[in-house]
Homo-oligomer: A and B are copies of this chain.
Amino acid sequence: MLVEKPLLQVLSGKTPPRVPLWLMRQAGRYLPEYRAVREKTAGFLDMCLTPELAAEVTLQPLRRFPLDAAIIFSDILVIPYALGQKVTFEEGRGPVLEPIRTVADLGRLSAARMTEMLAPVEAALRRVAGALPEGAALIGFAGAPWTVASYMIEGGSSRDFAAIKRWAYGDPDSFRRLIDLLVEVTSDYLVRQVDAGAEVLQIFDSWAGVLVERGLDIWALAPTVEIVRRVKAARPGVPIIVFPRGVGTQYAAYAEGSGCDALSLDQAVPLDLARRELQPRVALQGNLDPMLLVAGGAAMRDEAARILETLASGPFVFNLGHGIVPQTPVEHVAELCELVHGWRR
């Protein structure tokens, strides 16, 4: 008898007996076996684009923990890389990009070699798809245009988003050209991930929360809506999770308007409000503070229980409110898995 995977059940609005669980950035530096692979590899991007390595680290956390999903090991910045922008990752400093600052710089970007340059991600997905533990689903992902554009324009992480906002506010028409390009290539890339074996897609908009309301509508929400529309038109039925991190009151606009199957909640989203205003419309995912997974103990257990009690009566995927951090003790992850899977509605 074929039982549908718990994650897929939840994303189709069901409430399977076992609450599915995965953790953002679950393939990462908190795992010694990940660090071992990382140390042997020249660069972070090489790791993402070498199918054997990407597949290996994708599967590592599933060998340790009974996770309900593997998320392909990659980075949202493979898109600027494939568009021809110079992207490097420096240990402890995060990504560094040769920033795009003017309309003229847009001319240097080209989608012509996109498929070829991202073929290794597809190859990695195919490898993982063939090696998944029973019951675990495979997640593909991409960054939302606003967030990807912020790295492309700021040249890396930013505190104040001065460069992207100056461009977007000062010359919205040319900024729109970049957003439109990202909508197009991101939609295509996600479709190819589905064809390579991704059963679920997640769109990360990590920096949506820095926008004013009207900016959020046109530069974060609308492009995400368009990507969801295109991907679902091309591959009907593929469930899509959207993570507009930090948008607070505007999560409701995503629940109403984005067309996604689930919303991933950051840790600041109040649980009662999420249950009342969001869960009637979409499945929810989240939202344990990654620092509670570091702290462990009663604080972690209490908050995890509170999340489960509030949200697991509806369609719900247990996850963190943001990526797992390197200093996380692996035994806390094991304890969390037990706690979530042991919980009964």
Q: Given A212-B267, A271-B213, does the pair A161, B291 have CB atoms closer than 8 Å?
A: yes
Residues of B within 8 Å of A292, CB to CB, are 165, 169, 212
Inter-chain contact A166/B212, CB cutoff 8 Å? no
A326 to chain B, nearest CB (A): 10
Which of A213, A250, A292: most chain B Cβ within 10 A? A213
A53 within 8 A of B: no
Inter-chain contact A268/B325, CB cutoff 8 Å? no
A290 to B213, CA, bound (A): 14
1/0 per residue, CB under 8 A from B, across A187-215: the answer is 00000000000000000000001111111
A160 within 8 A of B: yes
Residues of B within 8 Å of A294, CB to CB, are 162, 165-166
1/0 per residue, CB under 8 A from B, across A288-308: the answer is 011110111101100100100
Interface size class of A (residues with CB under 8 A): 35 or more
Which of A157, A214, A249: most chain B Cβ within 10 A? A249
A41 within 8 A of B: no
A274 to B170, CA, bound (A): 26
A248 within 8 A of B: yes
A246 within 8 A of B: yes
A181 to B128, CA, bound (A): 53
Inter-chain contact B327/A162, CB cutoff 8 Å? yes
Inter-chain contact B291/A160, CB cutoff 8 Å? yes
Which of A166, A248, A273, A306: most chain B Cβ within 10 A? A248
A214 to B288, CA, bound (A): 12
A257 within 8 A of B: no
Q: Given A170-B295, A289-B165, A295-B166, does the pair A212, B303 have CB atoms closer than 8 Å?
A: yes
For chain A residues 261-300, which have a beta carbon within 8 Å of chain B? 267-271, 273, 287, 289-292, 294-297, 299-300
Interchain Cβ contacts under 8 Å between A and B, 10 examples: A160-B290, A169-B295, A170-B296, A211-B268, A214-B303, A216-B268, A246-B248, A248-B268, A249-B269, A250-B268
Residues of A at the B interface (CB closer than 8 Å) are: 157, 159-162, 165-166, 169-170, 172, 209-216, 246-250, 267-271, 273, 287, 289-292, 294-297, 299-300, 303, 306, 321, 325, 327
Other contacts beyond A166-B295, A209-B268: 9, CB < 8 A: A162-B291, A162-B294, A170-B296, A212-B267, A212-B292, A213-B270, A246-B246, A246-B268, A249-B269
